[in-house]
Amino acid sequence: MKLVAASAALAIGLLAGVSSASAAPAFANSGADVRQGPSYDSPVIGYAPQGAKLDANCDPRGWCQVTGTDRRNSFAGWMESRFVTFSDAGIEPAPPRAPRPPAPQPFPGGNNGPNWSFDFNFGNPVPPPRPQPQPPRPQPVYEEAGACFFTERNFRGASFCLEEGQQYARLPRDWNDRIRSVEVYGGASVDLCSDNNFYGNCVTVRSDTGRLPSGVERRVSSVEVYY
């Protein structure tokens, strides 16, 4: 029995001596777990950070027996060979990557900085903005006195014009009972009557009239322009 134990101890010592003699300088090319044995089922007993210097002895099964130290602790165990690079290959260990700084976040008010807005009108409703006055409608420049007649209010729709001294004692059928607004220019005066030959209900306008009186609106049958 003593002879068997002595033989086993001698074999273990020889194996350790071979392992130590065949170990070569290396480094961890990536952070990896250090396990108690050459198997994924073996418990993790340490961690080799990227760039950690090692003494490694690898076998054909894809595992390396390593010893090494990180910045604080030493470790010894087994690592996968894909995480081990031997220094005699002419490759220097890459330093650990610095953490990437966080991307700058845009300000809530836009890209150029905060856009703060405060309302100190506590409890009081904000009045709506006052409507801006509309610019006056540009008046056409005429060389002579006259008037233009429109089928819609406020000088819209179809139109025709007469100069000073012109008249219609009987409007054409397409214009009879259709005039609703009159534009006067050059200081002219306009008579509008509800019947032919200037009979019926008549009115005289001497300025722009966007809406004729109800007695003649859409009832005009004769017109005369004079100065």
Q: Does residue 106 or residue 27 have the better pLDDT?
A: 27
pLDDT in tens, 8-66: 343 333 334 334 447 889 998 888 899 999 999 999 998 888 888 899 999 888 999 99
Q: What is the CATH number of domain 11-89?
A: 2.30.30.40
| Token pair of 183 as six digits | 């534009």
Neighbouring CB atoms inside 10 A of 157's CB total: 14
Quote the mean pLDDT of the chain: 79
Domain chopping of the chain, boundaries? 11-89, 146-226
pLDDT at residue 125 in the model = 67
Q: Edge-to-edge strand order for the sheet containing 146-152?
A: 156-163, 146-152, 181-185
How far apart CA 28 and CA 47 sit, in angstroms, is 10
pLDDT at residue 76 in the model = 92
pLDDT at residue 223 in the model = 97
pLDDT (mean) for 105-133: 62
Say if residue 155's pLDDT is above 80: yes
pLDDT at residue 1 in the model = 42
> At 12, which helix (H) or strand (E)?
helix 2-22
pLDDT at residue 6 in the model = 40
pLDDT (mean) for 84-93: 66
pLDDT at residue 12 in the model = 37
How far apart CA 209 and CA 217 sit, in angstroms, is 11
pLDDT (mean) for 195-221: 95
Read off the pTM. 0.40
pLDDT in tens, 164-200: 999 999 999 999 999 999 999 999 999 999 999 999 9
Q: Does residue 98 or residue 90 have the better pLDDT?
A: 98
CATH of the domain spanning 146-226, picked from 3.30.70.260, 1.10.10.10, 2.60.20.10, 1.10.287.3510: 2.60.20.10
Interstrand relation of 167-168 and 222-226 (parallel, antiparallel or unpaired): antiparallel
Q: How confident is the model at residue 100 (pLDDT cuts 50, 70, 90)?
A: low
Say if residue 69's pLDDT is above 90: no
